[in-house]
Amino acid sequence: MKKYMRTCSPRLAKEKYCTGCMACSDACTHDAIKIVEKNCMPFVKVDTHKCMNCHLCEKACPIITPVKKNRAEEMNVYGGWANDEQTRIDAASGGGFSGLAQSFFHLHKEDKVAVIGATLANNRVYHQLIEQEKDIVLLTNSKYIQSDTQGIYKEVIERLKTGYWILFSGCPCQIAGLYGFLGKKRDSERLITIEVVCHGIASYEALDLHLKYYNSSRIYRFRDKRHGTQDWKQSQCTTIEQNGEEIKLKRKDDMFYAIYAGWMLDRKSCSNCQFAEINRVADITIADFWGLQVPDYYKQGVSLIIANNNKADTMIKAADAIYTFKESLRTAINGNPHLFTGYKLIQFHPIVMWPDFFRKILPKRIRFKILTNRMPYKLFWALYKLGTIYLVKYQKKQLISKFQKDDNLLKLLNNANRGGGKMA
């Protein structure tokens, strides 16, 4: 199946597959790639009057020119959390990213260092570069809407040219976009990449509808362990402004999570993800370690941390700001199906297939109830949800069957040395 659309000049990914990584935009040296908005999401369009047919955008696009992925055989699976308690409380789960970022600054304290990740500002998410350890807090905690990466890949290559050590974090498609943009320069020993296990990226309409529902002007956090509870499993609710105060909503009342969990405002590529597979894109994969049985003490949060190659494993073992322990891949995939699949049947829901049409004909109140899975509309949505659950179980069974035919992969699947932890 073709995953691109034909123009007069270069090939670009079709809307169904375009991730909005913006690597093509950064790669274009003729200002011929324009950012356009469709359904409150960024896409790209070629200005054929400016295009010089250099095809740099095609080479950068990880859909048109697939990037090399890591091999599952080289994986090392860990659980862990940041050593510093406040860092862990500020994080969505165990503070895996924060602990690794702190360690990265420590490991290269005599060098120039830049850490790049997503930050929340003015109800939008952007990729930002920081050069001081104290600024890591700007990049912590989960963000569930599309991050604007325009220009960030150019910053990476400029920093690499001037001798920086760089830690770059993002969704798997954004890591793939970075690699596509860098080409052979992706193999620099001074670049480490971290990807999050991605459930899907909602359009900013999801957040805007949420804020409008509560007559709020601002979201402070998508997940929050600072107020009342530090149990990471109870942290999935937004903290917003209401009447000039900072209010943490209850999960059952949270309209953003109702929309987000319904998938209907995700990018179409999130139901056809090319990067949610066991052979991961980035050097390091992180996530909430769902499905892990842990004592009450650890309920502040546990991060899943996977070293996908030797470079990553060396860094994790040298990290001084994070506690880690060995775990099995089986435990990881049991609680995190997006480690091995990104396919969702919600892509065939009428509102997803013809969003503009239904936005025009449906009363806003009815559309909002559908998007937030209110009855009786939830019954119709459940068909797509249940079908996806069944498909995930089948794909997991197929994956495990494949691993059981290879002794090395079978060992990775089952081995967990819980006594192998380390603490700085």
Task: Round to whole Å and give the CA distance between 17 and 363.
Answer: 29
Q: Tens digits of per-residue pLDDT, 163-212?
A: 999 999 999 999 999 999 999 888 889 999 999 999 899 999 999 999 99
Is the confidence at residue 6, as pLDDT, over 50?
no
For 8-26, b/e burial (b = at least 16 CB within 10 A) is: ebbbbbbeebbbbbbbbbb
Mean of the pLDDT values across residues 281-298? 82
Is the confidence at residue 423, as pLDDT, over 60?
no
Is the confidence at residue 4, as pLDDT, over 60?
no
Is the confidence at residue 344, as pLDDT, over 90?
yes
Contacts 24+ apart (CB under 8 A), 291-300: 291/331, 291/332, 291/334, 291/335, 291/336, 292/79, 292/327, 292/331, 292/335, 298/81, 299/230, 299/231, 299/232, 299/233, 300/81, 300/85, 300/88, 300/89, 300/94, 300/225, 300/230, 300/231, 300/232
Give CA separation, 29 vs 35, 51, 54, 160, in Å.
15, 9, 9, 19
Q: What pLDDT was estimated at residue 92?
A: 85
Q: For strand 76-82 and strand 124-130, is the pairing parallel, antiparallel, or unpaired? A: unpaired
Number of alpha helices (DSSP H) and beta strands (DSSP E) in the chain:
15, 16
CATH: 3.30.2390, 2.60.40, 2.30.30, 3.40.640. Which one for 72-201+267-340? 3.40.640
Q: Tens digits of per-residue pLDDT, 149-162?
A: 999 999 999 999 99
Q: Tens digits of per-residue pLDDT, 127-157?
A: 999 999 999 999 998 999 999 999 999 999 9
Is the confidence at residue 71, as pLDDT, over 90?
yes
Is the confidence at residue 2, as pLDDT, over 60?
no
Is the confidence at residue 389, as pLDDT, over 80?
yes
| The CATH fold of domain 15-60 | Alpha-Beta Plaits (3.30.70)
Mean pLDDT of the chain, nearest integer: 90
Angle at 146 (CA atoms; ends 141, 148), nearest 5 degrees: 95
Is the confidence at residue 421, as pLDDT, over 60?
no
Tokens of 416: 């967990």
Residues of the chain with CATH 3.30.70.20: 15-60
pTM (predicted TM-score) = 0.92
Ordered DSSP codes for 193-252: EEEE-----B-HHHHHHHHHHTT-S-EEESS--SSS---GGG--S-EEEETTEEEEPPGG
Confidence band of 86 (pLDDT split at 50, 70, 90): confident
- In the chain, the amino acid numbered 200 is G
Mean of the pLDDT values across residues 353-373? 94
Q: Tens digits of per-residue pLDDT, 103-128?
A: 999 999 999 999 999 999 999 999 99
Q: What pLDDT was estimated at residue 403?
A: 87
Least Cα distance to 285 among 391, 187, 221, 192 occurs for 192
Task: Round to whole Å and give the CA distance between 256 and 371.
Answer: 10
Q: What pLDDT was estimated at residue 123?
A: 95
Ordered DSSP codes for 295-306: -GGGGG--EEEE
Give the DSSP letter of residue 68.
P
Confidence band of 233 (pLDDT split at 50, 70, 90): low
Residues of the chain with CATH 3.40.640: 72-201+267-340
Q: For strand 284-288 and strand 113-121, is the pairing parallel, antiparallel, or unpaired? A: unpaired
**Higher model confidence: residue 406 or residue 217?**
217
Is the confidence at residue 8, as pLDDT, over 70?
no
Confidence band of 291 (pLDDT split at 50, 70, 90): confident
**Higher model confidence: residue 306 or residue 231?**
306
- Tell how far CA 296 is from the center of its chain: 28
Confidence band of 300 (pLDDT split at 50, 70, 90): confident
Decide: helix, strand or coil at residue 72.
helix
Tokens of 258: 């109702």
